Structure 1
Amino acid sequence: MDFFKFLEPIEWVVAWIMYLCHQGLVFLGMGDGPGLGWVFSIVGLVIIIRILLIPLFFKQIKASRGMQMLQPEMQAIQKKYKGKSDPASREAMSRETMELYKKHGTNPFASCLPILLQSPIFFALFRVLNGLVPISTGDADPIGPINAAVAKDIESSSLFGAHLSDVFLKTDDLQAKIVIGCLIVAMCATTFFTQRQLTMKNMPKSALEGPMASTQKMMLYVFPFIFAVSGVNFPVGVLVYWTTTNLWSMGQQFYTIKRMPAPGSEAERLMLERKKRKAAAKGIVEEAAPVIEQPRGQRQQPKRKDRQKPGTPRVITGTTAPSDKVEDAPVDDETGGTAQGTGKGSPSPKKPKK
């Protein structure tokens, strides 16, 4: 059973897009048959696919920014469970992380969605180009509109002397090897600068620190290395496809970063500076926000206290002035105390002397 059997519908779509793009170029004046028309049909394939993926691209930008904004909270969770390797702590950390993703409406896989969706197209194009020779000789079935005659035209088309189906490790033509080597370098370089453009210019400082930032920096160099190693097995047409899609990504990201930079990033600072320069060139002076002065209350002057005249008896407020005459309280006959009882203030009766 063929493992790539599920790619057959995608191969059929890729073949039809290439064929229709070539027919459109012929209508515009390019020559029919072998030639650069089939090279540009691969470029047309990239343009059509990337236009269809534009909504997913904006979702990717939104997801990437969401991941950037939650980095401080993510670091707080990691710090909270640092050094805890028991199952309960790991489960709690995973649960809090998922709740954090849900709160911000993002997840780390959303930013990889456009690349994941392009992968089947990439492999489908790889299989279409690898099948050109068998189709042209009649050893393989046609793929959509690519029959034996069309396959022979595509296979005979070349870019600077390298056929679209040539592979670096399988061709003996030195000129083809040089062209393929240049395409591999271009593919790796555009991959590097595309990733660097996204990670360095459109991320806030908080997102450039921590384990995730270290992983992204590492992948910045790992991906080009992977493409350099695997690129020697790619046909020329696949290298053209991947280099073109990288150039598209760079242009798309450049526009997005310039117009809609991530908050707190270097790109946002540059955008604000550009707006200030444009405003200054037009003679528009940005007025500072008016400072509203809080009304000050009138200072309360201390009141003058009347001094007591000498010889005047001092009156203590809150107490009862002692009366000049104190009436004797009635004495209880039985107890000898006062009628109110013998309290602390009542004098105790004197004992008779013997």
Structure 2
Amino acid sequence: MLDWLYNIVGWTLARIHEGLTFVGLNPDSGWAWGLSIVLLTVLMRLLMVPLFVKQMNTQRKMQDIQPKIMKLRERYKHDKQRLQQESMKLYQESGTNPIMGCLPLLLQMPVFFALFSVLRSVAEGNAQYGFDEQLAASARQALIFEAPIAAQFNSSSEELIALGSADPIMAKVLIAIACVIMGFTTFLTMRQSIKRSTAQMPDNPMMQTQKIMMYMAPAFGLFGLAMPVGVLLYWVTSNVWTMVQQHFLYRNQPVPGADTAADKGGAKSPSNGSAKGMLGRKKAVESTPEPKEQPKIERKQPKKKSRSKRGGGGSH
């Protein structure tokens, strides 16, 4: 059903390989085929950059309407159907599409499966998906160190030798290392994205689920044991690209409120300017003269005379 996509991916990979051969690389070497897969990954990710920017804008809008969503959840907590209707209405009014948040990943997965199918076909010696017999044989026996491009960890020693590996044990060790790197880089990309999401929506109800998936990410490396080396190379390259891309885009579009928080933090810290200001205020207080004590005003009251004196000197 997806043969048309497999043909596009296989044809593109073959053309990139031709270009690298034209500039002087050995067409049968692991360098030529490995770089072909890396450049195919970079080409695909470049085409998806606008979608990633759209994803970031969607996340920002989702953050803006989050308080309204929380009010709807509180109001219709006993009526999930009405809650869904009102939420979709709010998304439409704000021009937000929640599907855009995961669209880059959804578009990347078909390419991943297409490359997996192309390399599996190469390992089986089939000339299809844009590969002729000579090109398929070249890719089938290309080695990255001692690991054939089309080999898997569960390949037998005989199969690895047939694919051109002189040391099957070392080939399996290299594949295992590639699986570990794949799982670790997957964890780092998810951690970077979740930290951003936490800063945008601290009360996201899906946050706990996302964290569980993040800590399970290293286990994804176990799936790599059943993948060809070329697919592992694709996955690791895609993860590294994602980390670098997210770093620069997140830095250029900081979370709203981050600058304000930084300013508040700076106001609390005793910088030189604030310290000097406090010192100046202290000196001003010290230099202000204390008010002098005002003298008490005593009012002299006339002394009362005795009755005898008031009567004019007494009787004769």
TM-score range, shorter chain: 0.7 to 0.9
CA contact (8 A) 2:153 2:172 kept: yes
Change in Cα spacing, 1:91 to 1:243, as seen in structure 2 (3 Å) is same
Q: Which residue of 2 aligns with 1:22?
A: 17
Q: Does 1:143 align with 2:129?
A: yes
CA contact (8 A) 1:205 1:264 kept: no
**1:120-269 superposed matches below 5 A:** 120-135=110-125, 140-144=126-130, 146-172=131-157, 173-200=168-195, 202-203=196-197, 205=199, 207-225=201-219, 227-265=220-258
Q: Does 1:93 align with 2:88?
A: no
Shift of 1:205: 4.1
Change in Cα spacing, 1:224 to 1:75, as seen in structure 2 (3 Å) is farther
CA contact (8 A) 2:184 2:217 kept: no
Residue aligned with 1:93, SS: helix
Distance 1:95 1:150 in 2: 54
Residue aligned with 1:109, SS: helix
CA contact (8 A) 2:123 2:151 kept: no
Greater relative CO, 1 or 2 (CA 8 Å, sep 6+): 2
CA displacement 1:77-110 (0-9 Å, x = unmatched)? 222233x2xxxx2221111111222133223321
Residue aligned with 1:255, SS: helix
CA contact (8 A) 1:258 1:271 kept: no
Aligned residues: 257
CA contact (8 A) 1:203 1:262 kept: no
Distance 2:15 2:197 in 1: 40
Q: Which residue of 2 aligns with 1:286?
A: none
**Which runs of 5 or more structure 2 residues have no equivalent in the other structure?**
158-167, 266-316
Alignment RMSD: 2.5
CA contact (8 A) 2:21 2:27 kept: yes
Shift of 1:191: 1.2
Q: Which residue of 1 aligns with 2:64?
A: 69
CA contact (8 A) 2:121 2:128 kept: no
CA contact (8 A) 2:10 2:129 kept: yes
CA contact (8 A) 1:204 1:263 kept: no
Change in Cα spacing, 1:192 to 1:175, as seen in structure 2 (3 Å) is same
Of Structure 1 and Structure 2, the greater helix share is in 2
Distance 1:271 1:177 in 2: 53
Distance 1:222 1:240 in 2: 21
Shift of 1:40: 0.5
Distance 1:217 1:58 in 2: 23
Change in Cα spacing, 1:57 to 1:272, as seen in structure 2 (3 Å) is farther
CA contact (8 A) 1:171 1:177 kept: no
Q: Does 1:115 align with 2:105?
A: yes
Change in Cα spacing, 1:264 to 1:199, as seen in structure 2 (3 Å) is farther
CA contact (8 A) 2:41 2:234 kept: yes
CA contact (8 A) 2:127 2:136 kept: no
| Paired amino acid for 2:81 | E
CA contact (8 A) 1:21 1:44 kept: yes
Change in Cα spacing, 1:206 to 1:134, as seen in structure 2 (3 Å) is closer
Residue aligned with 1:168, SS: coil
CA contact (8 A) 1:203 1:264 kept: no
Change in Cα spacing, 1:265 to 1:16, as seen in structure 2 (3 Å) is farther
| Paired amino acid for 2:202 | L
Residue aligned with 2:98, SS: coil
CA displacement 1:287-326 (0-9 Å, x = unmatched)? xxxxxxxxxxxxxxxxxxxxxxxxxxxxxxxxxxxxxxxx
Residue from 56, 77, 80 that aligns with 2:75: 80
Change in Cα spacing, 1:205 to 1:270, as seen in structure 2 (3 Å) is same
Identical residues among aligned pairs (%):
36
Residue aligned with 1:131, SS: helix
Q: Which residue of 2 aligns with 1:310?
A: none
Q: Which residue of 2 aligns with 1:309?
A: none
Shift of 1:228: 2.4
Shift of 1:55: 1.5
Distance 1:19 1:271 in 2: 54
| Paired amino acid for 1:110 | M
